[in-house]
Amino acid sequence: MMLVLVFTRLLKVNQSNLMRKVVFSFLLLFTHLFLGAQIITEDLIKKHITILSSDEMEGRKAGTRGIEKAARYIENEFKKIGLNKFDELSTYRQEFNEKGLVLFNVIGILEGKSKKDEFIVISAHYDHLGINKNGNGDVIYNGANDNASGVAAVLALAKYFSKTKVNERSIIFVAFTAEEMGLIGSNYFGGEIDPKKIVAGINIEMIGKQSPFGPKTAWITGYNKSTFGEIIQKNLEGSNYKVYPDPYLNFNLFFRSDNASLARLGVPAHTFSTSPMDKDLDYHKVTDEVNTLEIYTIAETIKAIAKGTSSIINGTDTPSRVNLIKK
């Protein structure tokens, strides 16, 4: 903390605009590195994933008692963090009916300050595939990477931003249901909001394994569809973490995760992932367990997301809108 005091005094004494910018950039980087390390810890991440991907959750299939247990866990974490209820909801649940099932997204909000009527969505789906009723031996699709890792990121970022209080814009934290059934939860959410008020969508999906680009890297879907990725790269300059465009364009991943439900409305909504999609032998298998994940990779990726999105969160940068209409 002595370094912070020294540089703060320099900022007051030196009137040079260049020096002010240098000092401010240093303080911002220091804040993200120091507080990120203090709040976004491997122990916290592992705890969330271990609980959400335990056999007790029964694979978290939408419409089952397993996903009910997962929803309660997320709700309790939102309450401990101190998030407010979304819109006019009386609980953290956004409940609706679809395909004969009672489904619910879990939503909390951290109100902004000077730009509180501008919103950023930080999301991950919390459902998975449930139980293989025709299988033998291990029959539970625990979904540790897909997508307990993403939900752990949402919870960690909610805690981080609630502690640091750097959000000039309001942040909506969402655990979407029924992604595995066709983006049902995020589609419902998209129909209930005014997309013009949503500045960006930060979706997180499968960040538990080393990226194909190597350690301390992630990739972003739909990189060229808005300036979102450019902003992330700019904010990560000077750090040892890098982001790249989605290397799996033939998989059409931009439209296969929950970011698509907002992107179709014009929101610059993109998904962060580290998953080696062409080599992940545990994808949609019962072997997707917490012991197959790299907790360090997850923690570093969450810290990078916090830093990479910082100028969007604090209201300095606004990514361009997505236009999916072909000219």
Identify the pLDDT of residue 4: 47
d(CA 283, CA 280) in angstroms, rounded, equals 6
Identify the pLDDT of residue 283: 97
d(CA 50, CA 145) in angstroms, rounded, equals 11
Low-confidence ranges of the chain (pLDDT < 50): 1-7, 10-11, 327
Identify the pLDDT of residue 17: 59
Q: Where are the domains of the chain?
A: 1-9+17-39, 41-313
Give pLDDT tens digits for 55-107.
999 999 999 999 999 999 999 999 999 999 999 999 999 999 999 999 999 99
- Torsion angles phi and psi, residue 217, rounded to 5: -140, 155
Picking from 123, 69, 50, 37, the residue whose alpha carbon sits closest to that of residue 292 is 50
Picking from 304, 262, 275, the residue whose alpha carbon sits closest to that of residue 33 is 304
Place of tokens 């990725």: 229
Residues in the chain: 327
CATH superfamily of 41-313: Zn peptidases (3.40.630.10)
Identify the pLDDT of residue 31: 58
Position 239, amino acid: S
Own/partner long-range contacts of 241-244 (Cβ < 8 Å, ≥24 apart): 241/216, 241/217, 241/300, 241/301, 241/303, 241/304, 241/307, 241/308, 242/213, 242/216, 242/217, 243/217, 243/218, 243/219, 243/272, 243/304, 243/308, 244/211, 244/213, 244/217, 244/218, 244/219, 244/220
Other Cβ atoms within 10 Å of 115 Cβ, number: 16
Cα 64 from chain centre: 24
* Contact by Cβ (8 Å): 45, 97: no
Helices then strands, counting H and E runs in the chain, come out as: 10, 10
Identify the pLDDT of residue 135: 84
Identify whether 134 is preceded by a cis peptide bond (ω within 30 of 0). no
d(CA 73, CA 270) in angstroms, rounded, equals 26
d(CA 162, CA 327) in angstroms, rounded, equals 42
d(CA 212, CA 292) in angstroms, rounded, equals 16
Work out whether strand 217-220 and strand 130-131 pair parallel, antiparallel, or are unpaired.
unpaired
Identify the pLDDT of residue 324: 81
d(CA 58, CA 73) in angstroms, rounded, equals 14
Q: CA distances (Å), 242 to each of 222, 238, 274, 289, 308, in order?
A: 16, 10, 11, 26, 10
